[in-house]
């Protein structure tokens, strides 16, 4: 296991997939993807259902491995290390690359504990109260919950719960935050709030977001990666570039078809 | 022709609407079946519970091997008979002569007998009352007891021979009574008795002043008269019956001498006698009992039994005594001055009736009116020593020296070992409640001396007493402790192991052939009959691991447990038995924890174990605990495997550690129900109630803990 915490950020890229293929047993879900994610930017992954967007996202912090049959081929470089290397512990990877899920999933604990738990098990030693407040502020939730920190995380509304999940991820101080359709299951106002929050967070964090909502991708992201699946149902990267370019002037015909709503 | 508009709800099946009622009936039918099975289930449960309760409460007939009053009387008589300077004799003349010969002598006998010796003897006043016809008649004189006959108006009217016998009795009693040795009635009392007779027979209603006493002819009646009761009245009644027959009565007068109490019972419950002979007035409760049998007793006072406490005419210092002084004079005091400093410092010379005399009993009863519990401790110890075997007495002494024992303790031993109340018959609850009079009648007929009382077999003593061969002394303490110890071991063994296995199988185990085999095996093991586990326990824990389970490994060498048939073996066996249940239930609980929680934990960089420990387990815990509670409940009620492993069926020593011999409640119940005596079934029912309560208590505690736990989790 290699300690990755005190290394300087390497090169231009926050994280980079090289010839990455992800399998579930014999089935190849994502094939030979090369993707370079720029730091402190929001990168959106879009594409039709089943094209391997989520699998690709989870490959970035080895969450795929929670499915017992999943395995990967190729490399994902993070701070100069292949996170799939033999000497790398998946738990270490996830400490640096956090994840927020589609459905809000707070722990059945108090709001305070929800935020504090991740930091505590990761050995955080400084003032926990400060960390909780700071994380909740960064997640734009502090004003709404500061008087009820000892209430259950479930007492919040869906949008608040999702922001609580973001706060809890921030509290572990990751370099990269993966968001798996994080703003999809919410009502429009809550969705907008989360999008605003993502923009703010992008000042400090690298964010990779999977979304099936193209307006959202266009609104919120700096760069966009478009995925499709081939005849073997394996997802592959079709086109990757600045969001503006992808949405206004795509190089690839399939991208254009998808963007303009001809299929998908 | 208009086509019928098809509703979108219209089914394609053209018979749909025709079939609807049939479908509804079918649905209704299933509902009825389900309701019926629920109701049957509840009825069965209630019936089961009622059946148990039926056995756990009810009437018992208890027969003492010796009545406590008799015991007290025996003790007091012994004291009197063994006091120094005491002459005891059945011959009244010897007593009278002895008393007359010394101014320091004192004694007592029937008052009638004193009347023959007025010149030589002088009666004392007792508690300020002198024995005269009036004081004796009115009851003011303490050493006297009235003699009665009891019958009812119905009997006297239906059976003329009874009326004739009573007529003859009242007519002649005052002429004969002194010859028998008792005190004649005053005119007023006799007139009252005669008036009662006249009213009861309904011959004529007159007032006491103008009573005209009809003398019936004994020859005019036939049939037998049955009487039973007091032994004191017996000689008088026997004399009267003899004269009645001599006067021409052709039938028999049957007189049983069974005591006043038994006499009333025969009269009021068994209802097979016409007249009660009694040496005391009827009690309130006995009147109630008689009324219940539609027998309204009428009372005939026929005389008085009185004692005279006499001294010599030469005695110049003693004219009156109190009851308290009498007690001292006839037992512990040695000189007169011991009793009263004003009296001479001369030894008391005592002359009392002998041990076989009813007079001694009567005097003891009247003067020493004490309960067994009021006797001093030394007397109780002496009583115990006189009445139990030497070996048993020595055993008591060695268990705890009598000097150190409390009086209550000794009293308890006397009651248990000497009075020795023995239950001769028991009745179940419902018979006791709904057939009360039948039960009482049956008891009175079969066990006239027995006391019938309502008992709860489930009582505090039953819970704190150890096992005993005597069902009245047997308790479940040993069994309760055994059950608790065993279940403690079971939980300590099965809970961590079971939950651990469940976590492994759900969270870590890869889906391969070996793990699938293990899973299938666990599911199958949950259905294996418990006795198989008993055999496994016998082979593995009792035999193979004897060194461990007998405690030898820990330097414990107890020859009585060295064979491994210990609490530890039993607990481990039961643990094996419920292990599959705990694993399966825990697996289900762990499965039901949403996956998103695991992802959330892992997504924050927690290890798998941290996620399990902090999130999965706490959220699965209510389900895990529910499964464990159910499993442990089953273990508490298990009998078969423990029998095989070697539970002791008779053990009186409390278990003190995991290497003790043991028995458990179900074993105890099983053993008791297989005994032939009724009482064991009663205590088995009580033990079942204890087991039920124990189970409910343990479950309720566990459920409360679980609820608190899950509430705290939800924060």
Give SS3 for A7. Answer: coil
Domain contains B642: yes
Residue A9 pLDDT: 46
Judge: A169–B713 Cβ closer than 8 Å, yes or no.
no
Domain contains B463: no
Residue ranges for chain B with pLDDT beneath 70: 1-13, 203-211, 357-358, 556-562, 711-715
Place of tokens 């001769």: B424
Give the integer Cα–Cα distance in Å for B622 and B595: 17
Place of tokens 């967070």: A201
Q: Cβ distance B426 to B683 under 8 Å?
A: no
**Helices B678-714 and B477-503, axial angle in degrees (round to 10):** 40
The vertex-B158 CA angle with B154 and B160, nearest 5°, equals 115
Residue A117 pLDDT: 92
Give the nearest chain B residue to A62 (CA atoms): B603
Look at residues B458, B487, B519 and tell me which one is the last residue of a structural domain: B458
Same-domain status, B443 and B534: no
Interface test with A, best of B509, B605, B614 (most A CBs within 10 A): B605
Of the candidates B142, B143, B95, B137, the one whose C-alpha atom is nearest the C-alpha of residue B116 is B95
Judge: A108–B614 Cβ closer than 8 Å, yes or no.
no
Range of the domain at B354: 90-136+311-363
Residue B357 pLDDT: 67
Same-domain status, B114 and B239: no
Domain count, chain B: 5
Judge: A105–B713 Cβ closer than 8 Å, yes or no.
no
Give the integer Cα–Cα distance in Å for B157 and B303: 24
Partner A contacted by B611 (CB < 8 A) = no
Smallest Cα distance from A123 to chain B, Å: 11
Consecutive H or E run containing B310: strand B297-312
Look at residues B261, B288, B306 and tell me which one is the last residue of a structural domain: B306
Smallest Cα distance from B586 to chain A, Å: 19
Partner B contacted by A91 (CB < 8 A) = yes
Same-domain status, B118 and B174: no
Of the candidates B522, B500, B520, the one whose C-alpha atom is nearest the C-alpha of residue B512 is B520
Pairing of strands B105-110, B297-312: antiparallel
Same-domain status, B152 and B261: yes
Q: Cβ distance A192 to A214 under 8 Å?
A: no
Domain contains B83: no
Residue B402 pLDDT: 82
Cβ-Cβ contacts under 8 Å, A118 against chain B: 604-606
Judge: A117–B614 Cβ closer than 8 Å, yes or no.
yes
Q: How many CB atoms lie within 10 A of CB B68?
A: 17
Give the integer Cα–Cα distance in Å for A255 and A230: 14
Judge: B596–A152 Cβ closer than 8 Å, yes or no.
no
Main-chain phi, psi angles of B453, to 5 degrees: -140, 160
Q: Cβ distance B238 to B251 under 8 Å?
A: no
Smallest Cα distance from A259 to chain B, Å: 31
Main-chain phi, psi angles of A131, to 5 degrees: -60, -45
Reading the block at residue B708, the tokens are 């608190």
Cβ-Cβ contacts under 8 Å, B597 against chain A: 105, 107-108
Reading the block at residue B261, the tokens are 């109490």
Consecutive H or E run containing B351: strand B349-353
Residue B714 pLDDT: 52
Residue A103 has its nearest CB partner, among B596, B598, B714, at B596
Give the integer Cα–Cα distance in Å for B619 and A108: 8
Give residues 561 to 590 of B whose Cβ lies within 8 Å of A: none
Same-domain status, B348 and B393: no
Judge: B599–A101 Cβ closer than 8 Å, yes or no.
yes
Partner A contacted by B619 (CB < 8 A) = yes
Judge: A106–B600 Cβ closer than 8 Å, yes or no.
yes
Smallest Cα distance from B704 to chain A, Å: 20
Instruction: For residue B304, give Cα distances in angstroms to B147, B183, B184, B300.
Output: 5, 5, 6, 12
Residue A231 pLDDT: 85
Give the integer Cα–Cα distance in Å for A114 and A135: 11
Consecutive H or E run containing B138: helix B133-138
Q: Cβ distance B253 to B225 under 8 Å?
A: yes
What are the helix and strand counts (H, E) for chain A?
10, 10
Residue B615 has its nearest CB partner, among A99, A101, A107, at A107
Give the integer Cα–Cα distance in Å for B294 and B441: 14
Reading the block at residue B120, the tokens are 């030589």
> Would you say the pTM of this structure is higher than 0.95?
no
Tell me the three-class secondary structure of B540-578, residue by residue: HHHHHCHHHHCCHHHCCCCCCCCCCCCHHHHHHHHHHHH
Residue B715 has its nearest CB partner, among A96, A121, A152, at A152
Partner A contacted by B594 (CB < 8 A) = yes
Same-domain status, B403 and B330: no
Write out the DSSP string of B418-458. Answer: II-EEEEEE--HHHHHHTHHHHHHHHHHH-TTPEEEEEESS
Place of tokens 């989360």: A194
Strand partners, B612: none
The vertex-B256 CA angle with B250 and B259, nearest 5°, equals 150
Judge: A63–B603 Cβ closer than 8 Å, yes or no.
yes
Partner B contacted by A24 (CB < 8 A) = no
What are the helix and strand counts (H, E) for chain B?
31, 14
Q: Cβ distance B80 to B323 under 8 Å?
A: no
Same-domain status, B300 and B354: no
Judge: B714–A95 Cβ closer than 8 Å, yes or no.
no
Residue A91 has its nearest CB partner, among B511, B607, B614, at B607
Cβ-Cβ contacts under 8 Å, A154 against chain B: 714
Partner A contacted by B715 (CB < 8 A) = yes
Same-domain status, B159 and B30: no
What is the domain-level CATH number for residue B157? 3.40.190
Instruction: For residue B381, give Cα distances in angstroms to B8, B51, B69.
Output: 99, 43, 17
- The count of C-alpha atoms lying within 13 angstroms of the C-alpha of A88, restricted to the half-sphere facing its C-beta, is 21
Smallest Cα distance from B615 to chain A, Å: 7
Cβ-Cβ contacts under 8 Å, B601 against chain A: 107
Smallest Cα distance from B630 to chain A, Å: 26
Main-chain phi, psi angles of A50, to 5 degrees: 80, 15
Partner B contacted by A87 (CB < 8 A) = no
Cβ-Cβ contacts under 8 Å, B714 against chain A: 108, 152, 154
Beta-carbon contacts of residue B325 (< 8 Å; ≥ 6 apart): B339, B340
Residue B559 pLDDT: 58
Write out the DSSP string of A133-187. Answer: HHHHHHTT-HHHHTT-TTSBGGGS-HHHHHHHHHHHHHTT--SEEEEESTTTSS-
Give the integer Cα–Cα distance in Å for B247 and B387: 49
Domain contains B73: no
Query: How many CB pairs (< 8 A) connect A and B?
Result: 75
Same-domain status, B173 and B103: no
Partner B contacted by A67 (CB < 8 A) = no
Domain contains B681: yes
Give the nearest chain B residue to A60 (CA atoms): B603
Same-domain status, B201 and B163: yes
Same-domain status, B398 and B483: no
Domain contains B153: yes
Q: Cβ distance A250 to A74 under 8 Å?
A: no
Same-domain status, B293 and B351: no
Cβ-Cβ contacts under 8 Å, B605 against chain A: 91-92, 94-96, 98, 118, 121-122, 172
Give the nearest chain A residue to B598 (CA atoms): A66
Give the integer Cα–Cα distance in Å for B138 and B143: 12
Give the integer Cα–Cα distance in Å for B483 and A231: 68
Please, what's the b/e burial string for A145-181 (b: 16 or more CB within 10 A of its CB; e: otherwise)? beeebeebbeebeebbbbbbbbbbbbbbbbbbbbbbb
Summarised one tens digit per residue, pLDDT across range A213-258 is 888 899 999 999 999 988 888 899 999 999 999 999 888 888 888 8
Partner A contacted by B712 (CB < 8 A) = no
Give the integer Cα–Cα distance in Å for A37 and A132: 29
Pairing of strands B297-312, B144-152: antiparallel
Summarised one tens digit per residue, pLDDT across range A107-145 is 988 999 999 999 888 888 888 999 999 999 988 899 999
Domain contains B189: yes
Average pLDDT estimate for A33-37: 91
Partner B contacted by A106 (CB < 8 A) = yes
Domain contains B519: yes
């Amino acid at each position: 296991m290699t300690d990755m915490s005190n290394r300087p950020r390497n090169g231009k890229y926050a994280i980079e997939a090289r010839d990455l293929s992800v399998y579930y047993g014999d089935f190849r879900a994502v094939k030979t993807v090369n993707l370079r994610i720029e730091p402190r930017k929001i990168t959106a992954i879009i594409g039709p259902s089943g094209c391997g967007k989520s699998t690709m996202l989870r490959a970035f912090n080895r969450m795929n491995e929670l499915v017992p049959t999943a395995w990967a081929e190729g490399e994902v470089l993070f701070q100069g290390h292949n996170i799939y290397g033999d000497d790398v512990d998946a738990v270490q990877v996830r400490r640096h690359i956090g994840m927020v899920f589609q459905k809000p999933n707070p722990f059945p604990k108090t709001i305070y504990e929800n935020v504090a738990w991740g930091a505590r098990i990761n050995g955080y030693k400084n003032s926990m109260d400060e960390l909780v407040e700071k994380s909740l502020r960064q997640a734009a939730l502090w004003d709404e919950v500061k008087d009820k920190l000892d209430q259950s995380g479930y007492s919040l509304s869906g949008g608040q719960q999702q922001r609580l999940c973001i706060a809890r991820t921030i509290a572990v101080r990751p370099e990269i935050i993966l968001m798996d359709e994080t703003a999809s299951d919410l009502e429009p106002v809550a969705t907008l709030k989360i999008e605003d929050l993502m923009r703010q967070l992008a000042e400090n964090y690298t964010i990779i977001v999977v979304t099936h909502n193209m307006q959202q991708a266009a609104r919120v992201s700096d760069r966009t990666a478009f995925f499709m699946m081939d005849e073997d149902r394996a997802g592959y990267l079709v086109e990757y570039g600045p969001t503006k370019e992808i949405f206004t002037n795509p190089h690839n015909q399939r991208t254009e078809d998808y963007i303009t709503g001809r299929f998908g | 022709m208009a086509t019928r508009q098809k509703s979108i709800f219209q089914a394609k099946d053209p018979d749909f609407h025709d079939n609807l009622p049939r479908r509804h009936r079918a649905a209704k039918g299933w509902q009825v079946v389900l309701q019926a099975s629920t109701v049957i289930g509840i009825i069965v449960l209630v019936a089961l519970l009622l059946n148990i309760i039926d056995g756990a409460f009810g009437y018992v007939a208890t027969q003492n091997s010796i009545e406590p009053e008799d015991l007290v009387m025996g003790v007091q008589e012994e004291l009197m008979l063994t006091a120094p300077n005491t002459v005891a004799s059945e011959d009244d003349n010897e007593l009278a002569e002895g008393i007359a010969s010394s101014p320091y002598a004192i004694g007592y006998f029937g008052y009638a007998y004193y009347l023959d010796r007025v010149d030589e003897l002088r009666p004392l006043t007792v508690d300020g009352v002198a024995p005269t016809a009036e004081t004796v008649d009115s009851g003011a004189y303490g050493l006297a007891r009235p003699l009665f006959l009891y019958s009812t108006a119905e009997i006297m009217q239906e059976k003329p021979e009874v009326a004739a016998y009573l007529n003859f009795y009242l007519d002649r009693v005052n002429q004969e009574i002194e010859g028998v040795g008792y005190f004649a009635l005053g005119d007023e009392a006799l007139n009252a008795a005669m008036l009662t007779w006249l009213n009861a027979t309904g011959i004529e209603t007159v007032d006491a002043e103008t009573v005209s006493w009809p003398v019936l002819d004994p020859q005019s009646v036939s049939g037998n008269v049955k009487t039973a009761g007091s032994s004191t009245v017996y000689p008088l009644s026997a004399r009267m019956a003899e004269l009645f027959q001599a006067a021409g009565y052709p039938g028999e007068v049957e007189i049983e001498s069974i005591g006043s109490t038994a006499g009333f019972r025969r009269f009021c419950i068994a209802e097979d006698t016409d007249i009660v002979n009694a040496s005391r007035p009827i009690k309130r409760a006995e009147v109630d009992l008689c009324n219940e049998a539609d027998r309204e007793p009428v009372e005939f006072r026929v005389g008085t039994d009185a004692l005279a406490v006499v001294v010599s005419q030469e005695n110049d210092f003693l004219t009156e005594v109190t009851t308290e002084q009498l007690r001292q004079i006839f037992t512990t005091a040695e000189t007169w001055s011991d009793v009263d400093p004003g009296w001479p410092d001369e030894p008391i010379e005592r002359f009392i009736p002998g041990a076989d005399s009813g007079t001694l009993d009567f005097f003891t009863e009247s003067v020493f009116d004490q309960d067994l519990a009021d006797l001093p401790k030394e007397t109780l110890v002496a009583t115990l020593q006189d009445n139990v075997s030497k070996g048993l007495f020595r055993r008591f002494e060695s268990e705890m020296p009598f000097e150190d024992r409390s009086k209550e303790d000794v009293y308890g031993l006397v009651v248990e070992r000497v009075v020795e109340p023995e239950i001769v018959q028991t009745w179940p609850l419902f018979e006791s409640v709904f057939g009360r009079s039948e039960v009482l009648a049956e008891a009175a007929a079969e066990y006239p001396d027995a006391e019938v009382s309502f008992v709860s077999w489930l009582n505090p003593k039953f819970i704190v007493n150890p096992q005993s061969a005597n069902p009245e002394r047997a308790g479940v303490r040993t069994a309760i402790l055994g059950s608790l110890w065993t279940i403690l071991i079971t939980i300590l063994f099965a809970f961590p192991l079971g939950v651990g296995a469940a976590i492994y199988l759900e969270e870590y185990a890869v889906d391969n052939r070996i793990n699938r085999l293990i899973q299938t095996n666990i599911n199958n093991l949950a259905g294996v009959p418990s006795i198989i586990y008993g055999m496994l326990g016998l082979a593995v824990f009792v035999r193979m691991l004897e060194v461990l389970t007998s405690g030898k490994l820990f330097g414990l060498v107890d020859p009585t447990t060295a064979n491994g048939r210990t609490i530890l073996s039993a607990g481990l066996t039961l643990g094996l038995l419920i292990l599959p249940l705990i694993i399966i239930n825990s697996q289900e609980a762990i499965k039901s924890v949403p996956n998103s929680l695991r992802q959330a934990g892992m997504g924050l960089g927690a290890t798998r174990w941290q996620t399990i420990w902090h999130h999965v387990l706490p959220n699965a815990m209510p389900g895990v605990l529910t499964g464990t509670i159910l499993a442990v409940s089953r273990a508490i009620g298990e009998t078969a495997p423990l029998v095989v492993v070697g539970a002791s069926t008779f053990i009186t020593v409390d278990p003190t550690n995991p290497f003790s011999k043991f028995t458990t409640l179900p074993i105890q119940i099983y053993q008791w129900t297989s005994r032939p005596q009724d009482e064991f079934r009663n205590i088995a029912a009580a033990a079942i109630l204890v087991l039920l309560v124990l189970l409910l208590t343990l479950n309720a505690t566990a459920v409360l803990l679980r609820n608190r736990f899950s509430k705290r989790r939800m924060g």
